[in-house]
Amino acid sequence: MTQMLAARAGEITPAMRRVAEKEKVSPEFIRAGVAAGTIVIPANINHKSLDPVGYGRGLKTKVNANIGTSTSFPDIEKELDKLKVVLEAGADAVMDLSTGGDIDRGRRRIIAESTITVGTVPIYQAFLENREKRGNMIEMSADDLFEVIERHCADGVDFITVHCGVTLEVLKRLKGQGRITDIVSRGGSFLTGWMLHHGKENPLYEQYDRLLDICLKYDVTLSLGDGLRPGCLADATDRSQIQELIILGELVDRARAKGVQAMVEGPGHVPLDQIAANIQIQKTICKGAPFYVLGPLVTDIAPGYDHITAAIGGTVAAAAGADFLCYVTPSEHLGLPTLEDVREGIMASRLAAHAADIVKGVPGAMEWDREMAKARKALDWQKQINLALDPQRAAKIRRERNPEDHEACTMCGDFCAMRIVAQYLGKEPEFC
């Protein structure tokens, strides 16, 4: 019994109740959204440490952080250190994108130690294992791919990114389109190479019912990946991207018909003035399925600052209806992120998510800002720190740059506007 099938049967599961409690909405609101497919609760039956989270219409915008080994840095212990940062920084989900070392062992440890939603991209491991076994990734069979998918699901992964919409028809449009960056998705590129080499259709599309059966078995949520997401502004919103999205919309229908939860992934690099249109198109074609976006990044020229680029686009996307933001770190396009990069990426995306939630009217969003405003007026520094998105950083700056027990901050000193106006209005703040 998946969350969706239970919701359709009128049942409010413990996971639905927990999500309702977190979101400050009624359990019936959550149940109805899950039944309709406009809310998903990724909650694999084998992820025992999970504190479930909801993603979708009427809920807070959520943030995902990516971690994982590479062939250059295969040490899982370093990625587990990043997981601790992910949890401390307040992300709602973590994706293990490992491509180096003992991938099975690393994934199982991440699932065991994570109280938040865990996602993976199984095709990475499927291709890498075939390179080890046969000396060539391209010789992977459909059975090889589905065996790895089931292994991830059996281990307790809550959602899997699967590039089911990268079809021969879409690749034909890509060739005719003439992109600058072609395909920047790793999963999309692996499948494209396989399809062109074998002259066969994408097995994830051709055997989609087989994929759904695995998801039903473990209650795994499908994250329908955007293999044709634009890798630069010039490639945004082209025919191949939209053609893939049309196919994903049809696959959302098929997942819902079976009782499998599904969300849809989106771009990518998108000019600011195209973001809202991209969200509207997706929500229409995919009938309100939760939308999970990477960024979007609103310029291509900011290596080292792409967490800011993504936060700008993420705010616009979430305000327009996106439900789930995948973080981007300062090291995007440059290298594997450090612990500090992970933290900065999460905070930038959380800031974008909250700014959008104010626009959406999400319960509690505007109230948080109102409380901060009151604390600032009262010069209540401890409350300001407690209310800060990142209390740790706020406290550090306050401590290092202001004399002890100094009433105002050193930016204004004796000329604190709050203090001056309060004196004339007879509302002298009480220093705390």
Given phi > 0 = left and psi -120 to 50 = alpha, else beta, which region is 197?
Answer: alpha
Q: Among residues of the chain, what percentage have pLDDT more than 90?
A: 88
Q: Which of 344, 360, 376 is the last residue of a domain?
A: 360
- Exposure pattern of 253-276 as b/e (b: 16+ CB <10 Å)? eebbebbbbbbbbbbbbbbeebbb
19 assigned to some structural domain: no
Give me the pLDDT at residue 66, please. Answer: 98
Q: Tokens 């994706």 belong to which residue?
A: 95
Residue 333 counted as an annotated binding residue: yes
Residue 412 counted as an annotated binding residue: yes
Residue 232 counted as an annotated binding residue: no
Residues 322 and 289 placed together within one structural domain of the fold: yes
Residue among 35, 186, 22, 47 at smallest CA distance from 110: 47
Residues 89 and 199 placed together within one structural domain of the fold: yes
* Cα angle 189, 193, 198; round to 5: 150
Residue 416 counted as an annotated binding residue: yes
Could you give the number of structural domains in the chain?
2
Q: How many residues does the chain have?
A: 432
- CATH number, domain of 128, equals 3.20.20.540
Residues 221 and 142 placed together within one structural domain of the fold: yes
Give me the pLDDT at residue 173, please. Answer: 94
Tokens standing for residue 312: 């700008």
Residues 405 and 330 placed together within one structural domain of the fold: no
Residue 187 counted as an annotated binding residue: yes
261 assigned to some structural domain: yes
Look at residue 431 and tell me whether its pLDDT is greater than 50. no
Residues 337 and 283 placed together within one structural domain of the fold: yes
SS3 221: strand
45 assigned to some structural domain: no
Residue 414 counted as an annotated binding residue: no
The predicted-structure confidence for 301-360, as pLDDT tens digits, reads as follows 999 999 999 999 999 999 999 999 999 999 999 999 999 999 999 999 999 999 999 999
The predicted-structure confidence for 418-428, as pLDDT tens digits, reads as follows 777 777 777 65
H or E segment and range at residue 118: strand 117-120
Spatial distance between the Cα atoms of 208 and 25, rounded to a whole number of angstroms = 34
Tokens standing for residue 187: 């999963």
96 assigned to some structural domain: yes
Confidence tier at 406 by pLDDT (50, 70, 90)? low
Q: In this structure, are strands 55-56 and 39-40 parallel, antiparallel, or unpaired?
A: antiparallel
Give me the pLDDT at residue 421, please. Answer: 78
Residue 240 counted as an annotated binding residue: no
Residues 231 and 335 placed together within one structural domain of the fold: yes
Residues 189 and 290 placed together within one structural domain of the fold: yes
Secondary structure (H, E, C), 243-296: HHHHHHHHHHHHHHHHCCCEEEEECCECCHHHHHHHHHHHHHHCCCCCEEEECC
Residue 215 counted as an annotated binding residue: no
Residues 369 and 356 placed together within one structural domain of the fold: no
Residues 103 and 185 placed together within one structural domain of the fold: yes
122 assigned to some structural domain: yes
* Cα angle 302, 236, 278; round to 5: 110
Residues 392 and 305 placed together within one structural domain of the fold: no
The predicted-structure confidence for 195-224, as pLDDT tens digits, reads as follows 999 999 999 999 999 999 999 999 999 999
Residue 305 counted as an annotated binding residue: no
Q: Which of 360, 378, 406 is the last residue of a domain?
A: 360
224 assigned to some structural domain: yes
Sign of the alpha-carbon dihedral angle for 182, 183, 189, 192: negative
H or E segment and range at residue 428: none
Q: Which of 315, 331, 360 is the last residue of a domain?
A: 360
Range of the domain at 206: 55-360
Residue 23 counted as an annotated binding residue: no
Residue among 171, 307, 148, 328 at smallest CA distance from 239: 171
Residue 334 counted as an annotated binding residue: no
The predicted-structure confidence for 263-285, as pLDDT tens digits, reads as follows 999 999 999 999 999 999 999 99
Residue 66 counted as an annotated binding residue: yes
Give me the pLDDT at residue 428, please. Answer: 58
Look at residue 384 and tell me whether its pLDDT is greater than 90. yes
Look at residue 235 and tell me whether its pLDDT is greater than 80. yes
Residue 295 counted as an annotated binding residue: no
- Average per-residue pLDDT for the chain: 94
Residues 341 and 376 placed together within one structural domain of the fold: no
- The mean pLDDT value for 380-387 works out to 95
Residue 265 counted as an annotated binding residue: yes
> Torsion angle, CA of 225/231/236/240, rounded to 10 degrees?
-50
Look at residue 75 and tell me whether its pLDDT is greater than 70. yes
CB burial class (10 A; 0-12, 13-18, 19+) of residue 72?
exposed
> What amino acid occupies position 210?
R
30 assigned to some structural domain: no
Residues facing residue 161 across a β-bridge = 223
Residues 211 and 284 placed together within one structural domain of the fold: yes
7 assigned to some structural domain: no
Instruction: Say if CB 14 and CB 41 are below 8 A apart.
Output: no
* H helical segments located in 186-232: 186-198, 203-206, 208-218
- The mean pLDDT value for 368-380 works out to 94
The predicted-structure confidence for 193-203, as pLDDT tens digits, reads as follows 999 999 999 99
